[in-house]
Amino acid sequence: MTIEVLTGDPFAWEVRGVRSAVAIGVFDGVHLGHQQVLRTLTERAEEVKGVAVALTFDPHPLEFVDPSRAPKLLTSIDERAAVMESCGVAIMGVLPFVQIRDLEPHLFVTEILSYRLNAAWVAVGDNFRFGHNRSGDPGLLTQAGAELGFEVDVVSMIGDDERDLVSSTRIRDELEHGRVSEAARLLGRRFSLTGPVVHGDARGRSLGFPTANLHIPDRMAVPADGVYAVFCFLGDSRFPAVVNIGVRPTFGVNARAVEVHVLDFSEDIYGEDVTVEFVEQIRGEKRFESLDALVAQIGLDVEEARTLLSERNGRDA
């Protein structure tokens, strides 16, 4: 199955001739809690002999409602679609928040959920609000569903243990403290970053450890400054690698960078998209008193990464 991604004007979307089960949320990270909702979604879609539809938002609603509180994103739209597809979702609709934020709630329900998506079942979180002045809530949605012929479930986001609340906020906190293995447990897969390789200052090459500098959009979450053992993906190939995140204090650099040293690799990959999957933090960022001390530490980091990655050679978290 290849997931269909609906973008643009939601009043032009078409899911006709078949009923749908619909789940609505930001779904940033598509973590274990989200995945539980998506499993229920696909089950309900089978029950109504229809399709599973997940509605997400881009940009994040808080970028408009309260930019100071807008979180860094765990997943891009493409990454969200890939994980949703693996969960059995047939259609992902990307709602343009700026277009729907001022809709009267009944228009969103009747025109998009009922008419455009032909919903038979809709799932939302208990804090879901929609429409003008956030006047729509699960109660209003449930009442409208009874009138229009679809069922509404209000769901909670839990992970592999009901006592272990999983949330995108918690995962961001783990990343901010460098705990990438704990973030992986909550996501159900390793956290990853993807970006094109851009030209840097070539210091790594002069030290004997050439690095590829990744351009990561500012809106994306990045783990805490430090050195990490990672798997690096170039096309269909995977390589063990070390990532350094930080401002390179030994050189007095202030700009934060994400630099990848791919082990036993010497090809020119400028301009190519690279994905890194974070396995474990090796150490935090620190300033060294000399280049010799830095080079010696990098050598130790590489060997530790090599050992860690050989022990965790699978793609599982």
Alpha helices in 149-234 (DSSP H): 168-176, 180-187, 203-206
Same domain, 9 and 150: yes
Which 3 state secondary structure label does DSSP give 222?
coil
Among 155, 183, 201, the domain boundary falls at 155
The tokens for 260 are 């990848």
- Of the candidates 202, 187, 311, 220, the one whose C-alpha atom is nearest the C-alpha of residue 261 is 202
The Cβ of residue 300 has, within 10 Å, a number of other Cβ atoms equal to: 12
CA distances from 55 to 41, 126, 256, 258 (A): 12, 16, 34, 31
**pLDDT tens digits in sequence order for the chain, 317 residues long:** 699 999 999 999 999 789 999 999 999 999 999 999 999 999 999 999 999 999 999 888 888 888 889 999 999 999 999 999 999 999 999 999 888 888 999 999 999 999 999 999 999 988 888 888 889 999 999 999 999 999 999 987 544 444 457 889 999 999 999 999 999 999 999 999 999 999 876 665 656 688 899 999 999 999 999 999 999 999 899 999 999 999 865 555 667 899 999 999 988 899 999 999 999 999 998 888 788 888 889 999 999 999 999 988 755 54
CATH of residue 242's domain is 2.40.30.30
In the prediction, which pLDDT does 160 show?
Answer: 41
pTM of this structure:
0.90
What is the token pair recorded at 208? 């004997």
Question: Quick check: is 259 catalytic?
Answer: yes
Same domain? 133 vs 245: no
Answer whether residue 280 is part of any domain: yes
Tell me, what CATH number does 96's domain have? 3.40.50.620
DSSP E strand boundaries for the chain: 4-6, 20-24, 51-57, 91-95, 119-125, 151-155, 192-198, 212-214, 226-234, 237-246, 257-262, 273-284
Enclosing domain of residue 260: 191-311
From 174, 259, 277, 280, the catalytic residue: 259
Task: Tell me: do 95 and 14 sit in the same domain.
Answer: yes
